[in-house]
Amino acid sequence: MPQTNFSDIESILMVYKPLGWTSFEVVKKIRCALKIKKIGHAGTLDPLATGLLLLCTGRQTKQISKLQELKKVYTGQIVLGKTTPSMDLETPFNSVSSYDHIHAEMVKEAAATFVGNIMQTPPIYSAVHIDGKRAYAMARQGQTPILQPRSIVIHSFVFTAINLPFISFELVCSKGTYVRSLAHDLGQKLGTGGYLHTLCRTQIGNYCLDQAYTIETLLTKFRS
pLDDT tens column, 44-97: 999 999 999 999 999 999 999 999 999 999 999 999 999 999 999 999 999 999
* Same domain, residue pair 121 and 184: yes
* Same domain, residue pair 77 and 119: yes
Low-confidence ranges of the chain (pLDDT < 50): 1, 5-7
In a domain, 94, yes or no: yes
* Same domain, residue pair 168 and 219: no
Tell if the pTM clears 0.85, that is, is over it.
Answer: yes
Amino acid at 31: R
Is the Cβ–Cβ distance between 154 and 116 less than 8 Å? yes
CA–CA distance, 210 with 213 (Å, rounded to integer): 8
Q: What is the pLDDT of residue 223?
A: 72
In a domain, 174, yes or no: yes
How do residues 208-218 score in pLDDT, each as one tens digit? 999 999 999 98
CA–CA distance, 34 with 9 (Å, rounded to integer): 9
To which H or E segment does residue 181 belong?
Answer: helix 179-189
Q: What is the pLDDT of residue 7?
A: 42
* Same domain, residue pair 107 and 187: yes
Q: What is the pLDDT of residue 11?
A: 86
CA–CA distance, 17 with 216 (Å, rounded to integer): 11
* Same domain, residue pair 48 and 142: no
Sign of CA dihedral 151, 114, 84, 54: negative
- Neighbour-count burial of 61, counting CB atoms closer than 10 A to its CB (0-12 exposed, 13-18 middle, 19+ buried): middle
* Same domain, residue pair 174 and 84: yes
DSSP H helices in 70-178: 104-112, 135-140
* Same domain, residue pair 61 and 169: no
Q: What is the pLDDT of residue 224?
A: 63
* Same domain, residue pair 95 and 125: yes
Q: What is the pLDDT of residue 153?
A: 98
Q: What's 209's DSSP letter? A: G
Q: What is the CATH number of the domain that holds 79?
A: 3.30.2350.10
* Same domain, residue pair 139 and 184: yes
* Same domain, residue pair 91 and 158: yes
Is the Cβ–Cβ distance between 209 and 75 less than 8 Å? no
Q: What is the pLDDT of residue 1?
A: 46
Q: What is the pLDDT of residue 5?
A: 46
Residues recognised as catalytic: 46
> How many structural domains comprise the chain?
2
Is the Cβ–Cβ distance between 135 and 127 less than 8 Å? yes
CA–CA distance, 186 with 184 (Å, rounded to integer): 5
Domain that holds residue 214: 12-69+206-223
* Same domain, residue pair 138 and 164: yes
Q: What is the pLDDT of residue 6?
A: 44
